[in-house]
Amino acid sequence: MPELPEVETVVRRLRAPLIGRTFEDVRVEWERMVQLPVLELRTRLSGQRVQKIARRGKYLVFRLTGEDTLIFHLKMTGDLQVFPADDAFHQHDRVMFSLDNGHQLRFRDQRKFGRVYLTDTPDQMLGRLGPEPLDEAFTEHDFLALFNGRSGRIKPLLLDQEFIAGLGNIYADEALFLTGIRPQRRASTLTDEDKRRLYRAIRQVLSIAIEQNGTSLPDETYQGGQYQQQFLVYGREDQPCSRCDNPIQRIQLGQRSAHFCPSCQH
């Protein structure tokens, strides 16, 4: 599932081919991915030019010349790429946006959980998200303050997009390993020093992953790209811990899995 680094990589790849381009039409093969009537999407989007492409949490946010903002969520298996319009379609191409230069932005999504929104009130959707972990203005002090009044387990808390934006299963597991904190620890038992180390680990894993994804093929980006080779705990159940050789454990925590080393993490 694409997380902050994968979405950021897609955003960076889309800027050059899309900024300044005008949408001419939209073809929808799977209507449930589009969060407004298809006819309305086609009508409102036609003639609008892309001014800016940004990321907020795991959302891709396209500012357009009109009042509207086009927003995508890649969910489990979504990916966005630009192709010449006469290139053969892929069986998982679900929504195709025709551009004024004979190219198409294609939303490819095997599982069909991806979403397309067009809204003139983007803050209603994006405003509830927590802070951006890589934002320069987001300090250690701000991170510590997020924990006020929080009593749940640390891993589900890190996955809560209203607590902090953009983290998912992979990078939460990796950051907790680097910090020596078990995913099932109560957030209220973390010391300020634990939280400072966690803040630094989160920023470290996300930054390295963005760097590595930048060198991956587009098709593998959403699976963690080159960074997959470096996972220390995620997806490594029963394999030896890189620090102590004990087997990595996988447990269920809430609705999700969590991977950790029982001897290195407390």
Cα-Cα-Cα-Cα dihedral of 209, 214, 220, 226, to 10°? -50
Query: Which residue of 151, 189, 244, 254 would you call a contact of Zn ion, by CB under 5 A?
Result: 244
For residue 240, the minimal CB distance to Zn ion (Å) is 8
| Binding-residue total with Zn ion (CB under 5 A) | 6
Of 21, 35, 26, the C-alpha closest to 98 is 26
> Phi and psi for 229 in degrees, rounded to 5?
-65, -20
Q: How far is the CB of 261 from Zn ion (least distance, A)?
A: 3
Among 18, 26, 172, 241, binds Zn ion (CB under 5 A): 241
Q: Which two tokens stand for residue 8?
A: 């950021």
Q: How far is CA 138 from the centre of its chain?
A: 18
Q: Interacting stretch for Zn ion, rule CB under 5 A, among 68-76, 197-205, 222-230, 244-252?
A: 244-252
Smallest gap, in angstroms, from Cβ of residue 207 to Zn ion? 23
Give the closest residue to 133 by CA, choosing from 172, 177, 190: 172
To the nearest whole angstrom, how small is the minimum distance from the Cβ of residue 234 to Zn ion?
14
Single out the residue of 61, 181, 206, 261 in contact with Zn ion (rule: CB under 5 A). 261
Cβ 148 vs Cβ 163: under 8 Å: no
- Which token pair is 177? 């390993």
Torsion sign over Cα 258, 262, 263, 266:
positive
Q: Which residues are catalytic?
A: 2-3, 58, 256
Nearer residue to Zn ion within complex by CB, 169 or 265: 265
Tell me: does residue 176 bind Zn ion (CB under 5 A).
no
Decide whether 33 or 201 has the Cβ nearer to Zn ion.
201
Question: Which structure tokens are listed for 163?
Answer: 């607590």
- The stretch among 35-43, 135-143, 187-195, 258-266 that binds Zn ion (CB under 5 A) is 258-266
- Give the binding site for Zn ion (CB under 5 A): 241, 243-244, 261, 263-264
